[in-house]
Amino acid sequence: DHPSRKRRFEVVHNLLSTRYNSRIRVQTSADEVTRISPVVSPFPSAGRWEREVWDMSGVSSINHPDLCRVATDHGF
């Protein structure tokens, strides 16, 4: 979180494919209204992490299959 920047949040995905023995690091910047591309389709385990990022910072993923609160109250 960099409050002085226009796009204050940096979202970093560190992805690992055990099938192909390779790693990918995807880094992007976002603000409270920017929606990022999800990685949950090829990497299902990223689903909970993406929900938590949305819940705690407000950065949401485009067409996320299950964007629900996991860390805060549903009335938050």
Among residues 14, 13, 31, which one has the least CA distance to residue 23? Answer: 14
Q: Which residues pair with 24 in a beta bridge?
A: 15
pLDDT digits (tens, 9 = 90+) for 8-23: 899 898 988 899 999 9
pLDDT at 1 (0 to 100): 72
Helix (H) or strand (E) run with residue 47 in it: helix 46-57
Its pTM stands at 0.69
